[in-house]
A and B are shown apart, each in its own frame.
Chain A
Amino acid sequence: MNKTLVSFLVFVVGLAVFHNAIFPIFTPKEVGWILNRYVYFLSFIAYLIITHLILRLKPPIAMMGLFVWSIGFYFYKFVLYPPIPWTLFITYMVMWSIGTFLYISQDPETFREFRKPIVKAIVGEYKMAQIVLMIALPILVGWATYQSIYPSFQEPVELRTVHPAPPATTKVHGKTYPLESTNNPFRVDEQDNYKDSFPFLDADKHEYMKYVTEGGTIFFQNCHYCHGDQLNGLGMFSHVFNPTPANFIDPGTIAMLQEAFLFWRVSKGGPGLPNESTPWSSAMPPWEEHLKTEEIWKVILFEYWYTGWHPRTFGTEGSTAGGGE
């Protein structure tokens, strides 16, 4: 049997078997020292080298080049994790292609060998290959031109500031609050003491749980439509809005903010955002129109208690200590 063909089959069949049967084994949920995707990739390379050595296969240099290039493509496309954006992928593949070319042209002999089939196709010694190339390539070029001219429209990308700089003071219900030094008046105790207390059940026993119960009641009458029953920003209306409502479970939202910042955002909503936060698409209502000052503070107290985060504080130790559940 033609050794070139054997080598080709070793590569193609081997890759199919490895990718479909062995890859899943090496990518369990819990990644280990042996069972990971890179060990899998190395074992595929080892398989290729060992099979070629045992069977004494010496494919022509053009095919070797193709193998090397394909292995790189496979690695960047399927093995490397997390997946890379396509621009980076293109960059890596350009470098990999240059590397492959260097490998092919390492000495004049291999380079000539590599050129041989190409030249033969061009001058027509491989008649079929010549005909196919001469017809297929111009059609491909025409098609690519058509694709690039065809008008297509994507919605414009909009950038916005997620956490805009707050003003120094905010005026709610006729009273001015300096954001730097305002604290939640209902934070009457350390919230961790109430991890295993329950709204409604313990509302009569502890003042703190009374406030949490009241805050939760307001939350589930007003806020859950967008911010969700789980406070994860996936409420019934959440899919309607762009930007999507904030996810309080995420460590990047209330966990890294002061309570006074929340007080300002809840009171003033989307319309109260500074100019840098345009486009004005935030659907957050200015809640000062519907809620009393103390109700806003209670909702904020509830949000921290429910998620297990601690508000950010300045000047005291353990500023951002805490964690989600």
Chain B
Amino acid sequence: MVGNNLNLTVTKPKHMEMTMTKNNNYIKRLILSFLALALIAVPGAALAGMPDPIKKDMLEKGKKVYFKRCVWCHGVEGGGDGPSADRLFTRPRNFIQGTFKIRWTDSGELPLDINLINTVKNGLTGSAMPAWGEFLAEDEILSVVQFVKSLVQDREWDDEDEEVNNVIGGSATSASSRPAIGADIGKGPLGDPPWAKTAGPYHLGIPQEHVDAGKELFMKNKCWECHGGEGRGDGNPTMKDDWGFPIVAANWQQCWNHRGSRREPYDPFVVARTISTGLNGTPMPNFREQLTGTERWQVAAFVNSLCPRKNIDKLTNKPVPDFLIQSVYTEGIVVPKIDDPSWASPDTDYRIVDLSEEQAENPKKHYIAMAGQITRGKRNFDPKADNLYVSSRWSAEEQAVYYLVEYDTRFMSQDPEFPDAVAIQWPAKLQDLFGAEKPYFIYGDSKKPVDVWKASFMAKDYSATNAPNEKGYQLDVNVKEYVANGFDAVADKESEGKVEIVDSIFHQGRVKVMFKRALTTEGEFDVQIPSEQFIPVSFFQWSGRDKEHDEHMAISTWYYTILKPALPASLYYMPPIIAAIFVCFQGWLVWMTKRTRKMYDEGKMRRDELPK
């Protein structure tokens, strides 16, 4: 054992030892030693060393922190089996085997202390692990990391056979999570990205050539086998982690959920690191054999380019929901086709990246956050849809409104008993609501009924294990309307259903369903939709593959929608009129000023005299 030597240069004697035993010739030995030294000195070489041993003096304090803050999920012995574990997806980490996902070290190796410290400080976004950096004191974090290390039973941190190779190249002691050194060698540290600089927190401006190169590498290395054709994690439905629990591939279009993002979801380093180190305990390998450092950065650039740029809430690390769904006024009739250019709109926030001219007037995709329904009956602790995107158009000529609802789901149901479904909920008696009054947000209440439009669907000719299908799958849709007066009082409407699903598709991990309904109907419990008025609206979603049905679903809170009016004609004639009036005023001012001057000059009037 090399004792407490934390220095990464412990490789030096190791390499020298090897060369010495093999060569007796003194000069040869000397040359080889120099070569070995040179190898270590070359920044490109992997930095091999021992794991950081447990700092025993910190264990006492760490144990106190652990048993107050961590034990609830990670369990008394660190087996990832605390009280909350069975109701979490993904499950809390089991520390016993020493398997840690987010590291700078090679696949299968133990992490560096700095990796664990950063995980505790920043949390694991997209999971229940919160960021403790602002909650615990620095020494509490350092101590609890040492205690967590002591919970590893199957491996020894001071075992001579435990090697750690820092394949990222960051400093083991620096608090900065960014690597400082490195060169472009396949087996060596990741090194710096091939582009000079990216702009702002959204890391925009990576040259397109790198993104394109990354896409080619994505195809060549078959990343889509697990991550799907457009990176929504919809490739492989059968994956398990080391403990046999089901696990899914990351959805690259929701990068704010990437576990190791360290609260920097748009930083390409996150992906470049994961490609370099793999994720221990999961099927994700590292790709250092296949990809050079530059190529890993290029794949990262491609993966990064898929993630919509959203305004991320610093506290929750999720995009800020768009609480007002604006329905765009459409001249003439609305084209009821999802892929029509009049519906084209990016997931990215238009306030962050400017829209192209053709899309500037199109409906925006509003971000609707979803959570599990945990109030009544069979509760849903692990909803499969994180969010919906909703866009809308309406037409005065047709007297109809269209809502296009989209969401990412990795795999669809193949069991007709449990179809996938999505629903829009409205107050059924909008006209009876006073002020901000609304029905209860899940299925209304006894006094205030709700109108629910539910579309259930199965994908045609679909199997979850199919290779990515660029054309997507048509959906067999069945739409039903319900009136509800509470959880126990959800009934089919007696009046004729007026809601239509005019178009739908399941394409590369994304469901798209377009609802249409007339603004006014005859039904007693049909919502009557006025224009230019705020109308409460909320959403439900069911994942058939998870056997979700009835109240076992994902829900949103109340949002508002508004049917925006056509642009007023006065918009075009009022500004010139006002400007013309202003010009007249200016002319009058000039005339007056000149006249006054003339009167002074002609002596008809005296200038204001200064006191002598």
Chain B residues near A137 (CB, 8 Å)? 582, 586
Q: Does B440 contact A (CB under 8 A)?
A: yes
Cα A219 to Cα B83 with chains together (Å): 9
Which of A199, A229, A235, A270 makes the CB contact (< 8 A) with B67?
A: A199
Q: A143-B575, A230-B130 are in contact. Are A153 and B556 (CB under 8 A)?
A: no
Within 8 A of B (CB), among A140-190: 141-143, 145-146, 149-151, 153-156, 158-159
The 7 closest A-B pairs by CB, nearest first: A142-B579, A237-B371, A285-B375, A198-B67, A240-B371, A142-B575, A155-B324
A residues touching B (Cβ–Cβ < 8 Å)? 108-109, 112, 119, 122-124, 133-134, 137-139, 141-143, 145-146, 149-151, 153-156, 158-159, 196, 198-201, 216-222, 224-225, 228-230, 232, 234-242, 269-271, 278-281, 283, 285-286, 289-290, 306
Nearest A residue to B83 via CB reads A217
Q: Given the complex of chains A and B, what is the CA–CA distance between A153 and B533 in angstroms?
A: 10
Q: Is the CB of A134 within 8 A of B586?
A: yes
CA distance A156 to B534 in the complex (A): 8
Q: Residues of A contacting B570 with CB < 8 Å?
A: 149
Does B381 belong to the interface (CB within 8 Å)?
Answer: yes
A274 to chain B, nearest CB (A): 14
- Look across to chain A and name the residue whose beta carbon is closest to the beta carbon of B370: A240
- A224 and B575 in contact, given A238-B316, A279-B437 (Cβ under 8 angstroms): no
24 residue pairs bridging A and B, Cβ less than 8 Å apart = A122-B589, A124-B590, A138-B586, A142-B579, A145-B575, A155-B324, A158-B436, A198-B67, A219-B72, A224-B84, A228-B130, A229-B73, A230-B132, A234-B130, A234-B315, A236-B127, A237-B371, A237-B372, A240-B370, A240-B555, A240-B557, A241-B371, A271-B440, A280-B448
Task: Name which residue of chain B comes closest to A282, CB basis.
Answer: B441
Kindly list chain B residues whose C-beta atoms are within 8 Å of the C-beta of A141.
Answer: 578-579, 582
The complex places the Cα of A300 from the Cα of B323 at a distance, in Å, of 32
Q: Find the A residue at minimum CB distance from B67.
A: A198
Q: Chain A contacts of B130 at CB under 8 A?
A: 228-230, 234
Could you tell me if B574 and A145 are in contact, using CB atoms closer than 8 angstroms? yes
Indicate if B22 sits at the interface (CB-CB under 8 A).
no
Query: 0/1 per residue, B376-395, Cβ < 8 Å to A?
Result: 10010100000000000000
- Within the complex, the shortest CB–CB distance from A275 to chain B, in Å, comes to 9
Q: List B residues 589-609 near A (Cβ within 8 Å).
A: 589-590, 593-594, 597, 608
A234–B597 touching, CB < 8 Å: no
Contact, CB under 8 Å: A280 / B579: no
Residues from chain A with a CB closer than 8 A to the CB of B586 are 133-134, 137-138
- Total of A-B residue pairs, C-beta within 8 Å: 174
Whether B72 lies near A138 (C-beta < 8 A) is no
CB within 8 Å for A289 and B582 given contacts A220-B72, A220-B83, A239-B318: no
- Pairwise interchain contact B438-A285, C-beta atoms closer than 8 A: no
For the complex, what is the distance from the CA of A286 to the CA of B67, rounded to whole Å?
Answer: 30
Pairwise interchain contact B557-A241, C-beta atoms closer than 8 A? yes
By beta carbon, the residue of chain A nearest B570 is A149
B53 within 8 A of partner (CB): no
Is B372's CB under 8 angstroms from A225's CB?
yes
B496 to chain A, nearest CB (A): 30
Task: Indicate which residue in B82, B135, B316 contacts A239 across the interface (CB closer than 8 Å).
Answer: B316
Chain A residues with Cβ below 8 Å from B73 are 220, 229
Residues of chain B from 537 to 554 with CB closer than 8 A to chain A in the complex: none
Given known A-B contacts A145-B574, A149-B574, A278-B436, A234 and B316 have beta carbons under 8 A apart: yes
Query: With A and B bound together, what is the CA distance between A133 and B589 in angstroms?
Result: 12
Given contacts A119-B593, A123-B593, A283 and B582 within 8 Å (CB-CB): no
